[in-house]
Amino acid sequence: MNYAKGTGKTKEEAIEAGLKQLGASIEDVEVEVISEAKSGFLGMIGSKPAVVEIRRKPDPDVIGREFLFELFTKMDVPVEIEVKEKDSNLVNFELKGENIGILIGKRGQTLDSIQYLTNIYVKRKCGNNSRVVLDAASYREKRKKTLEQLAENLAKKVKTKKRKVKLEPMNRYERKIIHTRLQEYPDIKTYSEGEEPNRKVVIDTKK
């Protein structure tokens, strides 16, 4: 049940009645006031209750699954979609399948593109606060460890040779991994330069 109409002596009572019908909390719904309560003559004659319509907010989980299922069907790639993490605005999907490498692509570029398209669709349906994160065969966790190791190795090199190093272009998520990992190095600083999608992380010594 995704819709209910509530009535009550006050708007608050009408909303409470609608929430009870849906079995939902106020954070999960959108409320439209159809009519305000009117007390009428002497509080009785001509009085009217407050009427509200309550609809469940679109669920990013459901909307995201529908989009991905249709996309993978058109791509003719069998994929199992699982939820790794979920709250009211964020859904983290794990994609599994025999040919999952096709969906990851070189350095995760295909996965990033699918995630970008999914987020556009989900935000259009559920609001700008909604967000979807996609992973496939734990690629992002493996990639994170690889980038952290790379950052550490390059930081040592920069510190030894006193010469800055520019990394290959990375997306915002991967650049953040580098910046975060090297924050604990007191003699090293990092910053980004260039324009998307060719923005790069620079590792340098603190002067």
82-102: per-residue pLDDT in tens?
Answer: 998 888 788 999 999 888 999
The total number of structural domains in the chain stands at 3
**pLDDT the model gives residue 59:** 86
Distance CA 174, CA 179 (A): 9
Do 74 and 98 belong together in one domain?
yes
- Tell me, yes or no, whether 131 and 84 share the same domain: yes
Query: pTM of the prediction?
Result: 0.70
Whole domain around residue 42: which residue ranges? 3-56
Residues 154 and 186 in one domain: yes
40 or 147, which is more confident: 147
- For 106-120, how does the pLDDT look when each residue is reduced to its tens digit (9 = 90+)? 889 899 999 999 999
Residues 180, 167, single domain; the answer is: yes
- Are residues 131 and 174 both part of a single domain? no
pLDDT tens, position by position, 34-75: 888 887 655 555 578 899 999 888 889 989 999 999 999 999
Confidence at residue 128, expressed as pLDDT on a 0 to 100 scale: 81
Q: Say whether pLDDT at 158 is over 60.
A: yes
Q: Residue 1: is its pLDDT beyond 90?
A: no
Tokens, residue 39: 């007390």
Q: Residue 42 has what pLDDT? A: 56
